[in-house]
Amino acid sequence: MRFPHTVLLMLASALSLSIGWGIRGNFGHENGAMIPGALAAMAAVLLSGREDWWNRIAYFAFFGALGWSFGGSMSYMQVIGYTHSGDSASVLYGFACLFVIGFLWAAPGCAGTALPACRDREQLTSMFPPLTAVFIAWCLQDFAVSWFLDVDPQFRQRDPLYWFDTDWLGALVAIIAVLVLAAFRRRFDSATSLILHMAVGWWAGFLILVVLLGWRMTPPRGDNWAGCAGMVVGMGIYFQRHGLKALTSSSLVGGFIGGFGFAAANALKLVGIKTGWETNWHSILEQSYGFINGLGVGAVVWLLARHLPKVSEEPRVRRWTEHYAIIFVMIGISYLNLQKNVGTWTKAGAVPGALYGMSAAVWFNLAYASLALLIMSRLAAQHRRPIALLSLSALGRGQLLFLVFLWWMVVGNFERALVLFAPQRLVTEGVIF
């Protein structure tokens, strides 16, 4: 790969993750973190020069989103607060913890991004059934918890399921889901094994670091960092057991760049605050951190593009997973985040709380459901009645997916901010636009 092309790859990856990270800050948590993961993976692959990867662009977006989502469970604002304290020991502790959080966020993120480049089609598409089982189980968990428990998020310590404010239930439900699926299928496969390695690793990290040793990073804030540490170790053990050296290297390269990036971006923010200029410095921190993380994704993809052999799509098993990945990215990720806009609109008085006897949230859900049906029916009919827009080359289809998803999230994010706009938003929405 020539030098100018390498620069473009790195720049596109960095800008994509920076934009996505700025949007993520407005939506938060695991759902928000999927946005930059999908964008950066697509940008890097589109500029990788690997034609064999362009056919997998939806898979890169799907697994890139999932990989970066895990870090969204970790709490870090109090850690950032330590770096503002003025006490040398607290500042040092804050920067050290930012490195840990950054590493634990980027390691699975870059591993997820790299996964479609390192597995053949059979291995890659076999991930979808157990992942679907986990997704369904998590949806049932959310429904059951919201149905039987009515706890104010501001007072979640009163939640009977509260345990150091961690996602212990989600990790447990994932283990149960894949075990039930394995019992139904009467077999374990490598995909099920990976999920079990990560979920059991999460529990091991949480129980050893927090429950047994009492290492709490920012009490009373959540300690999902410990579960993520165990999850990354479990993931690494799986990679080593299956000889997946490229995935191990991807997670380590991305992890160290991410750890350095979080600490470095916060240091730059502190320098900016020292100037006395009043602006949204936290947003500058997040977009700067996203930019550095994007350089990590670009570096990983560049290394993989140079050293990995060509991947084959034959035999083309589980063709349904291609549409699954597209729908997950376009409809799933966008809905999980943009449905939060409704509360912002109604609270600001920009949208009525109810329209013709139905709440604004119901109208939003109906609109998204109709949109999902339209896209799914169009994808299903493409092989029988192709339309020119979707009959492009693999590179063209990848560019189309990237562009539509990018603008979908940029516009959706702007809609969220517009009803309560302030001068400080220019640093976020203005830069993103």
Query: What is the pLDDT, as a whole number, of residue 19?
Result: 94
When the pLDDT of each residue in the chain is averaged and rounded to a whole number, the result is: 92
Residue 54 has pLDDT above 90, yes or no: yes
Distances (CA, A) of 361 to 152, 245, 355, 367: 19, 46, 10, 10
Q: Which residues pair with 354 in a beta bridge?
A: 359
Of 242-246, 279-283, 345-349, 354-358, minimum mean pLDDT range: 279-283
pTM: 0.94
Contacts for 290 with CB less than 8 Å, ≥ 6 apart: 17, 18, 19, 20, 21, 22, 24, 36
Mean pLDDT of 384-395: 84
- Is the pLDDT assigned to residue 342 strictly greater than 90? yes
Q: What percent of the chain has pLDDT over 70?
A: 97
Regarding predicted confidence, which is higher, 381 or 226? 226
- State pLDDT tens for residues 57-71: 999 999 999 999 999
Report the pLDDT value the prediction gives residue 392, as an integer from 0 to 100.
83
Pull the structure tokens for residue 350. 């920009």
pLDDT of 152-208, one tens digit each? Answer: 666 666 677 788 889 999 999 999 999 999 999 999 999 999 999 999 999 999 999
Q: What is the pLDDT of residues 83-109, one digit of tens each?
A: 999 899 999 999 999 999 999 999 999
pLDDT at 273 over 70: yes
Query: What is the pLDDT at residue 403?
Result: 96
**Interatomic CA distance for residues 333 and 327, integer angstroms:** 9
Where does the pLDDT of residue 431 fall: very low under 50, low under 70, confident under 90, or very high at 90 and above?
confident
In the prediction, which pLDDT does 365 show?
A: 95
Q: What is the pLDDT of residue 3?
A: 65
Q: Which amino acid is at 279?
A: T
Q: What is the pLDDT of residue 185?
A: 93
Average pLDDT of the residues in 380-409:
89
Backbone φ and ψ for 340, nearest 5 degrees, come out as: -70, -15
The arithmetic mean of pLDDT across residues 240-265, rounded, is 96
pLDDT of residue 389: 80
Structural domain boundaries in the chain: 3-320
Share of the chain above pLDDT 90, in %: 77
Chain segment 14-37, per-residue pLDDT in tens = 999 999 999 998 898 899 999 999
pLDDT at position 433, please?
87
CB 174 within 8 A of CB 133: no
**Better-predicted residue by pLDDT, 384 or 253:** 253
User: What pLDDT score was predicted for residue 382?
Assistant: 80
Structure tokens at 94: 């804050």
What are φ and ψ of residue 187, in 5° steps?
-165, 155
Q: Choose between 158 and 11: higher pLDDT.
A: 11
* DSSP type of residue 155: G
3-state helix, strand, coil in the chain (%, to 5): 80, 0, 20
Structure tokens at 210: 């927090």
Which of the two residues, 156 and 392, has the higher pLDDT score?
392
pLDDT at 155: 63
Judged against a pLDDT cut of 90, whether residue 391 lies above it is answered with no
- DSSP state string for 333-355: IHHHHHTTHHHHHHHHTSS-SEE
User: DSSP strand E in 194-269: where?
Assistant: none
